[in-house]
Amino acid sequence: MSRKQITGVGPVARIGADDSACPILHVDMDAFFASVELLDRPELRGRPVIVGSPAGRGVVLSATYEARQYGVHSAMPMSRARRMCPQAVIIPPSHGKYSEVSKGVMEIFHSITPLVEPIASDEAFLDVAGARRRLGSPADIAARIRAEVLDRFGITCSVGVASSKFVAKLASKQCKPDGLLVVPADKVVDFLHPLPVSALWGVGERTEQALVRLGIRSVGDLARVPLTTLQRELGHAAGTHLAALAWGRDERPVTAHVPDKSIGAEETFAADVDDPEVIKRELLRLSERVAARVRAGGHVGRTVSVKLRRADFSTITRSRTLREPTDVAQEIYATACELFAAAGLERVRLRLVGVRMENLKPAESASHQLSLGEKETGWREAERAMDKAIRRFGPDAVVPASLVRGRLDEMEA
């Protein structure tokens, strides 16, 4: 595949020769959280930096490429990351900053095309077929996006340009960091077949082990296996899916808006906890966070679920569907406490707890109906007022009294 340099965009920006049949872009910010943190701490550029809890037992949220050279990667336990790269600078996360930059980046995408499908705060698919007459070829549009993101926010992104979502995402990964790679439609097989089979969507650790037992290590190896064999070994659906991907077949369109299916938050304790009051305070904190995100997204939800992970890493979940949809933290919290009590783990040491709101729908489509004799609590109005105060003065501007008491107890302890 022939490539040429694009000057003035990025040090490793690369494009293929023919992008005429490649309307799909996958744009992925490079080490997004870490890159945003370095905007305020430029003296750390070139050093291994990890975004995560400095003292907690959570996971790595982001790592610079200097840290990744030591094997550190997102979702890795922080304890392991510190062992692998003890010289790394660890920065606690600043979620408000990431949300602000993410919103601005998405605005850039929407200025290019209405067909934007976000799949995380730092990446999205774009279909730029309709923007070509106005803005040029897909590679030109990709270069424009990269330059604008760099100019406005001082961070870099990598862009894969291809004929399908699957190949575009693989291309963006292949050209990281700070790259641009086009996979021409007639070169898809050449691009895919040398890759390890683990690059395919749907190939996790167990599937990869099953494929290796069959002597399949590359995508090319997989492509040469008869479909009936794959269906027999992996199941009909999985075998059919992987066979199609091995030849670059992915018919899914870019969907302009994918509504949230659920919104959740979870926390790993610094030390295992078996005190029900401490756990309930954390459930309240998480319920507040979930409810705020539900309201910010213009949603209400009907199903509350809790996630409870024991010290031995075994995990259980419990859920309950409410009579009416809600976006009120106190209602979510009350249900979460009931689910926690019903799980029978009130004196069991827990490592992690989580709260999630499911069965979401637009708030305007759901009207809260008071049952006969039911009193309006006023919680909804109070929490909306809290939202306004937090947006203006920061996340600690308004805190429930029980959480303040919990902080004081922890400080005294």
Q: Could you say which of 66, 123, 282, 331 is catalytic?
A: 123
Cβ of 343: how many Cβ atoms within 10 Å?
A: 14
CA separation for the pair 9, 15 (Å, rounded): 12
Q: Measured between alpha carbons, how far is 297 from 293 in angstroms, rounded to an integer?
A: 6
First-to-final CA distance of the chain: 63
Active-site residue flag, 100: no
Report the 10 Å Cβ neighbour count for 121.
17
> Cα(128)–Cα(249) distance, rounded to whole angstroms?
19
8: left (phi over 0), alpha (psi -120 to 50) or beta: left
What residues contact 44, with CB distance under 8 A and at least 6 apart? 37, 38, 89
Flag whether 122 is marked binding: yes
C-alpha distances (whole Å) from 243 to each of 5, 131, 192, 232, 276 are 34, 32, 12, 13, 50
Q: Is 327 annotated as a binding residue?
A: no
- Say which residues have a Cβ less than 8 Å from residue 391's Cβ, sequence separation at least 6: none
In a 3-state reduction of DSSP, which class is residue 126? strand
Question: What are the backbone angles phi and psi of residue 92, rounded to the nearest 5°?
Answer: -65, 145
Sign of CA dihedral 63, 31, 390, 403: negative
Which DSSP letter does residue 187 get?
G
Which residues share a beta bridge with 120? 123
Continuous segment of H or E residues that includes residue 306: strand 299-310
Chain centre to alpha carbon of residue 45: 24
Nearest Cα residue to 246 out of 177, 293, 189, 163: 189
Residues annotated as catalytic (active site), given as ranges: 123
Residues annotated within the binding site for Mg(2+) are 28, 122
Residues annotated within the binding site are 28, 122
